[in-house]
Each structure stands twice: as C-alpha cells, then as structure tokens.
Amino acid sequence: MRILENHNHERENGANRLKEKVKAPSKLDAWKPYIGELLEEFTRPPITNRRIFELIMEKGYQGGQTTLRDYLAEIRGKRFPETVYCVETSPGQRGYHDWSDYLINFAMSGTEKVIFFSFILGYSRRQYIEVVPDKSQPVLLRAMINAFAYLEGVPRQIRSDNQKACVDRWELGRPVFNKTYLGFCTHYRFEPLTINPGCPRENLKIERPFHYLETNFLNGRKFRDRDDLREQLEKWLAQVNDQRVHRTTGRRPIEMYAEELPFLQPLPREGYDACLTAYRVVNGESAIQWENHYYMVPRGYLYETCPVRVDGRQITIYTPSCTPLISYPLAEKGEQSRYIGRTEPGGRKHGLNRKELMERLEAFGPVMREYTEALKQHNPTTYRYHWQRLISLKAHYRADDILRAVARALKYRVYEAQAVENFLKTNTPLNTEIG
C-alpha cells in the first residue's frame, strides 16, 4: 500500500526516479579523434575496420576489436559481407592466378594506375603478389615463374580466367588454350584450367584475396613511389598476409603452406624455353602430322584436337585436357618411313565404331545432331560413311565453320557429307592453326 502511495505521489508531483544511465568511459575514447581523421582521409576506398584497428594498435591502443567494431558500426552504419562459397582442394592440387588494377596516389608523382599480379595456392592460401607493367603474355609468364620460385614448387593444376594470354577461344564446350601458354604449362607440368564463360564466381579464391589486398595493404597506407610500394608489399606479404588467421581455414597461411610444400611439384632443372607448341587433329590413320612425318596416336583419340609440344629432338602429344599421351624422338632429316610409331602391318586405317562416331558428332551441338539423324534416315545403309566423313572435316576446318555448312545443308535438304565438304572447300579457308 505504501509503495502504491509513493508511486501516486511521484506521478502527481512530476518526480522521476528513473535516472539517466551514465555511460562508462571506454579505452577507445582517446582514439576517437584519430579515428575520425582516418575516416575523413581514406575514403576511396573507405578504410576498413581491421586497418583502423591495426593503426591505433601501433599508436598504443590496448582495447579490443569488438569495441572498435561497435563504435564504427554506430557512426557509419553496419554493413553485411557477401556470402562466399569456395571448393576446398587437397595440398598441392591447385593454384589460381589473375590481375587487378588500382588507382594509387603516390606522393612523388600523383595518381597512377597500378597493375597487380596475384598467384595463390588453393589449400594453404599462401599468396604471391607482384606489381607488373602490363597484362601481356610475356609479363604473365615471367610473373608466374617468379611465383613458382617464391613458393618453391608448382601445383598440379592452375586455374585462370578467360584472359587472352591463356585462352584463345571456346570450342564445343571446351577451352582452346593459347599455344604459347600451352607450352608453358607443359614445361612446368601443370594442367591448365579456366572458368566457364559468364561464371566469375568460379574464381573466388583469387578474387577474395584481391579484396584483402585492397582493404588491408592499400587501405590506410601512403606510398612515395612504385619502388616504395614494392618494398612495402614485400614486407606485407611476409609479415601480415602470411601471418594472419585466414577466416575460412582458421589457420595462418604460412603454417598450412608447410604442410602443402611437400605436395608441390619440384621446379624443372632447366628454365622455361621457347619450345614449339601447336594443336593437331588426329587423322583417319590415328596419327598427327608434324612437318613431313606422321606420329601415331592411340586409337581412342581419332579426330580429336590434341596439343603437341616439340622440345629439342622430342615430340610429345597430349590429350585434349593437356595431359601427356605419347612421346617420340623427332624424325631425323631424310627419315625413310613417314609413319613414326606404326606397328600394324600394311598401314590399315583405324575407324570409330557407331557409338564413338555419335558421341563425337553430338559434341557439336543440336544442329549437328539433327543433321546426323537426317543422314541416317535418308541413307540407312551408308550413314556411317557420311558420319565418318563429317567428323574427319575437323582435321582441316574449325568447328563453327563446319556447323555453318551443316546448317546450310539442312536448310536445302542436302543429305550427303560430300556436299558439306564441297561447300567448305569453296567458301571456307583451311584452319592453319591445326594443320
């Protein structure tokens, strides 16, 4: 009863017993003016919470990162990071490389565009970054050689995006790698991979480390010139990037690199040389032509487009996915036999069975599938001959040219492989890249 009377008295007299909460002093209070200066100075890009934490720690801040995070969220709004999903790979299995451009304000020369090359190991996340002059293929190969030396080994697979230095084009759902890049891959014994067109998120393991470069190394730092940038970058890689606890693995990259190193392929004894590389189509005799000789290939690769590498006096033929298939000593000048590696008597030609022919033709897409079915209906006893003739055209013409000729044959209801070939001979130049 007494309590109720007291409450009634307080309401009538306007008294308020609820006192305003007094905010306790924070270890961060002394650093708030400096934080305000950082936020005002570094706006493009905005300085990150982590970088601010590092800078105030250098000046003596002894508080926690959570206090700083809550304060920054209060004064500039809370942002939620995008969810990222990465496929984990085993030690030594895969590496990734790419470039990224940034505008950097140098104290000596003003704002300049700077190109960074980055290479990262998929398992340990240990990273090599280099400032490069441009994005040309020679610069790419030199940067990759530097990365292999820095990491003391080469992963078994390396993924890039579809940059011209690596990929010429896509054909029948597969990338056609640049000849020079292909020679580089075979020298260092790694399988080249690339992302599917229009799927940039497949390369997140290299894109996200660039984000860390941007938000940590390039954030809240000043550079005198490019040499100063390179010097600071070298220290940052060893002292910060290698030592940080990675948010996905929960471990430091340098620790996981110690586990990954034994699984990396050793560096070749000889440096990268300018060996000859090219594509060749396996012909109807299950051979590829190089200069004036034919080198035999296992039957299962009939009419496939295979990379070829000539290193000194040895020729190596690779599968379409760029794994070594077979090697021969290069034919000497004046060699009597034009067929190297042939063991079957009489030079009997190889052939594909019906299922293999159908699979090879279906890889061209729906237009070719429609035409092969039409050939089968109009030539029920000889359709396999026409199928064979169609697939053999790969030895001399590009896939898109063949499809153009097939579409024309469908339009005019001409169901003979010879007609398709005649149209190509008249209207389409030979594909010299695979000749």
| pLDDT, average across residues 320-327 | 90
Cis peptide before 45 (omega within 30 of 0): yes
Assign 347 a pLDDT band (cuts: 50, 70, 90): very low
The candidate with the shortest Cα–Cα distance to 55, out of 221, 205, 195, is 221
pLDDT digit string, tens, across residues 368-405: 999 999 999 999 989 988 998 898 888 788 888 999 99
57-71, 91-105, 132-146, 336-350 — which one is most confidently predicted on average?
91-105
From residue 374, how far is each of 64, 414, 415 by CA, in Å? 74, 10, 7
- Are 291 and 372 found together in one domain? no
| pLDDT, average across residues 74-78 | 71
Backbone dihedral region for residue 374 (phi beyond 0: left; psi -120 to 50: alpha; all else: beta): alpha
The answer to whether position 13 is within a domain reads no
- Are 252 and 401 found together in one domain? no
Task: Tokens for 149, please give them.
Answer: 């030396």
Q: Is 194 helix (H, G, I), strand (E, B) or coil?
A: strand
The candidate with the shortest Cα–Cα distance to 168, out of 181, 177, 159, is 177
The answer to whether position 85 is within a domain reads no
Q: What is the pLDDT of residue 318?
A: 93
Q: What is the pLDDT of residue 64?
A: 82
pLDDT at 55 over 80: yes
Name which residue leads in pLDDT, 286 or 1: 286
pLDDT at 1 over 70: no
Rg of the chain in Å (alpha carbons): 32
The answer to whether position 11 is within a domain reads no
What is the signed CA dihedral for 131, 135, 141, 146, rounded to 10 degrees?
A: 10
Q: What is the pLDDT of residue 205?
A: 52
pLDDT digit string, tens, across residues 81-110: 545 455 678 999 999 999 999 999 999 989
- Are 58 and 163 found together in one domain? no
pLDDT digit string, tens, across residues 221-245: 999 999 999 999 999 999 999 999 9
pLDDT at 194 over 80: yes
Q: What is the pLDDT of residue 201?
A: 57
The answer to whether position 16 is within a domain reads no
- Are 326 and 377 found together in one domain? no
Q: What is the pLDDT of residue 360?
A: 85
**Could you say which of 80, 112, 142 is where a domain stops?**
80
pTM of this structure: 0.54
- Are 136 and 223 found together in one domain? yes
pLDDT at 16 over 80: no
- Are 362 and 338 found together in one domain? no
Assign 181 a pLDDT band (cuts: 50, 70, 90): very high
Backbone dihedral region for residue 227 (phi beyond 0: left; psi -120 to 50: alpha; all else: beta): alpha
- Are 327 and 185 found together in one domain? no
Containing 118, the helix (H) or strand (E) segment is strand 110-121
Q: Is 358 helix (H, G, I), strand (E, B) or coil?
A: helix
Write out the residue range of the structural domain in which residue 66 sits.
29-80
Taking all residues of the chain, what is their mean pLDDT, rounded to a whole number? 84
**Could you say which of 263, 287, 302 is where a domain stops?**
263
CATH number of the domain to which 250 belongs: 3.30.420.10
Quote the number of domains for the chain. 4
As a residue count, the chain comes to 435
CATH number of the domain to which 300 belongs: 2.40.50
Q: What is the pLDDT of residue 283?
A: 86
Q: What is the pLDDT of residue 59?
A: 84
Q: What is the pLDDT of residue 241?
A: 92
pLDDT at 274 over 70: no
Distance CA 211, CA 135 (A): 19
The answer to whether position 9 is within a domain reads no
- Are 375 and 425 found together in one domain? yes
The answer to whether position 331 is within a domain reads yes
| pLDDT, average across residues 44-60 | 85
6-10, 262-266, 334-338, 428-432 — which one is most confidently predicted on average?
262-266
- Are 250 and 130 found together in one domain? yes
The answer to whether position 22 is within a domain reads no
pLDDT digit string, tens, across residues 102-147: 999 999 989 999 999 999 999 999 999 999 988 888 789 989 999 9
Residue whose pair of structure tokens reads 């801040």 in the numeric block: 61
Assign 75 a pLDDT band (cuts: 50, 70, 90): confident
The candidate with the shortest Cα–Cα distance to 86, out of 75, 72, 96, 73, is 96
| pLDDT, average across residues 47-70 | 86
- Are 70 and 110 found together in one domain? no
- Are 289 and 364 found together in one domain? no
Percent of the chain with pLDDT over 70: 85
Residue whose pair of structure tokens reads 């070298």 in the numeric block: 234
- Are 51 and 149 found together in one domain? no
The answer to whether position 248 is within a domain reads yes
Name which residue leads in pLDDT, 111 or 16: 111
